[in-house]
Amino acid sequence: MTFDSQAYAVQLEEKVTRLRDLLAPFGAPEPAVFDSPLKNFRLRAEFRLWREAGERHYAMFSQEDKRTPILIEEFPIASLRINQLMPQLKAAWQASAALSHKLFQVEFLTTLAGDAMITLCYHRPLDEHWHAAASKLAADLNVSIIGRSKGKREVIGHDYVVEQLEVGGRTFSYRQPEGAFTQPNGTVNQKMLNWAYDALGDRSDDLLELYCGNGNFTLPLATRVRKVLATEISKTSVNAALSNLSENAVDNVTLVRLSAEELTEALNEVRPFRRLHGIDLKSYEFGSVFVDPPRAGMDPDTCELTRRFDNILYISCNPETLAANIAQLNDTHRITQCAMFDQFPWTHHMESGVLLTRR
């Protein structure tokens, strides 16, 4: 794979044109464009291991052919730290039966701040020989190591990495757990956070956040408003978000483990939720809502919920479902800002953002 800057510029413009065309029916302004590094941008990677000539190799498979492995020695789109660790880990398993026996998958998670974690997946129980070898490896490579085997997990070091991102002139620290979702392109993620921070602006009212994850956007956006009610359904992400709020001394956020659909029912007083016990929803003066939904976008009821707010700040990983949601809201809200974030260079995927304000 070549990393030609001219070829990248052409691909980037194709994405901008696609977003521009999708948002044109709604009178959107010209999108701000946030590019990516050409290589070493991806902070996580997952490889199957493939035996050939009596030796295990890193392998990936194409979407078109799930049977023929592509053997890999290096992975240029991954972070420099992942590329540094790949041969070191391979040498370690080649030298150790305790590490290599029935090892079938390897996952790397790194951060811009330099932290790293390796997950090793096995088709066998992990014993004391594995633990001794993995502990030495963790110390030698200065990483945390997770061993996974048939639903069991061994942790050497931490089961998370720590990221640091600068938003609005302040550095925020993020705990990113193993197995939980994190933005793969840290450089572009930081650009997304700063765009959202600027788009929301300083406000004297409250913010509702749906799909808050580990608090990626929650931390900086909380500094722009009086208080935040944030929701997330994943227990792992909720625990990480609570740790991140505490670590960064952000004390104006209440986090509840509810889906967007359940919160809609709560706000509509359809039924009470025990997880909202002690939280007075009527005490909030929501002026804005922030959403970062999955690829399917917001369901119609959640989309209707966002209509109640003067400002809808929307980050999307699928411009088609973003456009469908905007079509539902277009009679009451208009796009006042939009942006394209090249989170996934060299693919057709992209992230986008819009600020919708009440007409």
Q: Who's near 46: CB < 8 A, 6+ residues apart?
A: 105, 106, 107, 108
Opening angle at CA 88, ends 85 and 89, nearest 5: 80
Q: 192 near 351, Cβ under 8 Å? A: yes
Amino acid in the structure at residue 34: F
3-state secondary structure 110-127: ECCCCCEEEEEEECCCCC
Find the catalytic residue in 163, 178, 232, 351. Answer: 351
- Which helix (H) or strand (E) covers residue 225, if one does? none
| Separation between Cα atoms, residue 286 and residue 284, nearest integer Å | 6
Instruction: Say whether 178 is catalytic.
Output: no
| Separation between Cα atoms, residue 50 and residue 103, nearest integer Å | 10
Question: Under DSSP, is residue 233 helix (H, G, I), strand (E, B) or coil?
Answer: coil
Instruction: Say whether 212 is catalytic.
Output: no
CA 212 to chain centroid, in Å, comes to: 10
Q: 235 near 298, Cβ under 8 Å? A: no
Question: How much is the CA Rg of the chain, to the nearest whole Å?
Answer: 22
Number of residues that make up the chain = 359
| Separation between Cα atoms, residue 241 and residue 276, nearest integer Å | 17
Find the catalytic residue in 121, 303, 317, 338. Answer: 317
Neighbours of 252 (CB within 10 A): 13
CA distances from 156 to 99, 113, 288 (A): 14, 20, 42
| Separation between Cα atoms, residue 230 and residue 214, nearest integer Å | 11
Closest CA to 291 of 272, 318, 252: 318
Active site residues: 317, 351
